[in-house]
Amino acid sequence: MQAILALEDGTLVEGEGFGYPKVATGELVFATPITGYEEALTDPSYKGQILMLTYPLIGNYGVSGARFQSDGIKVEGFVVREICERPSHYKSKTTIDEFLHSEGVPGICEVDTRMLTIKTRHYGTMKACLIVKEELSDADREKALELAKTQPDISELDLIEQVTCRKPYRIKGSGKRIAVLDMGIKHNILKSLERRNLDICVFPAGTPPSEIESVEPSAILLSNGPGDPQRGKNAINVVKHFLGRLPIFGICLGHQIIALALGASTYKLKFGHRGANQPVKDFELGKVFITSQNHGFAAAEESLANAEEGTRVTQINANDLTVEGLENQYLGVYCVQYHPEASPGPWDTERLFFDRLVRTVEAWH
């Protein structure tokens, strides 16, 4: 198959198509992990985006399904330098091409991902259109450019509603009960909570505070998710409702939502942080942790002067000094921008975050 990728600045790149033949639009973003393409493709935080991986060879260990972070692929399209057609791993069940095809997602390979990454770093993330079909025409090229330029900005899309669960569910445990607001939660977050025997009640993103209150939780956790945190109005209201009444924790989008609820502001990063090698400095421990990240928005540090009294930055990104952790001990708030539950890793911060969650809940009650 043939494939074409168009960017809103007029860039047009042609390559080989794989996966499912269709038209896809979204914000083109790049991620830097060497492994973990199964996890990335199924990460709900990528909803509304066309994912490009900087590592040149993708699919060499196939697709097993064992490490999916949701019920299927969530990216709109996939861009890689080269795909492996004959994977070698004893757990592999299918190829990356077959996986995308079965999920109805288009992909393009044999393109210069290095050039596209450099362009993104220089100009910032751009809206894009990917077309995959048997044979491309000049009309397809014009259509791709038009769709890249005219599609809505990601901040205009209600992406959370597309990835949240449809109804509440419970994962029983013998420990304290924690209410989780699902804005596109990754499976590994739930697994990290399960390993600590917490009694988990998961709610759709639009659930009102009164319904969450009805299960009498000991704490609230806001999950990761896609898009602009300012679109998560109900989640912001949930945080405001429980502030000072229960411990509140957040990961990634949940971190940004909590920042907004505390009175701070958020902003869109130039090209975001997406990869498995982001250094985060913890002020209390005086250590730098290597973390997995996937976000395009961040909490504005200067806006914390307007936040609830006692709110402070606990961690920063060692590369660009953006906020990676917030805390308000008086209100029982603790949240991080990165993914402590990361699969395939790194696991530097898994115990740091989740063990602290358990200790805080037990001390609070």
Q: Is 339 a catalytic residue?
A: yes
Strand segments (E) across 8-163: 12-19, 23-31, 49-53, 57-58, 77-79, 82-83, 106-109, 126-133
Bridge partners (DSSP) of residue 29 are: 51
Q: Where are the alpha helices (DSSP H) in 232-349?
A: 233-242, 253-261
Contact present, 52 and 27 (Cβ < 8 Å): no
Cα–Cα distance, 209 to 237 (Å, whole number): 8
Give residue 201's region: left, alpha or beta (phi > 0; psi -120 to 50): beta
Per DSSP, the chain holds a count of helices (H) and strands (E) of 10, 19
Name the residue with tokens 């990290």: 192
Catalytic residue among 187, 255, 273, 339: 339
* CA pair distance 16, 45, nearest whole angstrom: 26
Residue 201 annotated as catalytic: no
Cα distances from 306 to residues 176, 182, 200, 222, 251, in angstroms, run 33, 27, 33, 22, 22
User: Cα separation of 142 and 147, whole Å?
Assistant: 9
Closest CA to 243 of 286, 216, 209, 266: 209
The yes-or-no answer on residue 129 being catalytic is no
358 beta partners: none
Instruction: Supply the DSSP symbol for 301.
Output: G
Catalytic residue among 129, 201, 252, 335: 252
Catalytic residue among 76, 324, 341, 350: 341
Contact assessment for residue 166 and residue 182, using Cβ atoms and an 8 Å cutoff: no
The whole-angstrom separation of Cα 267 and Cα 256 is 10
List the one residue out of 67, 73, 68, 22 whose CA is nearest residue 47: 73
Active site residues: 252, 339, 341
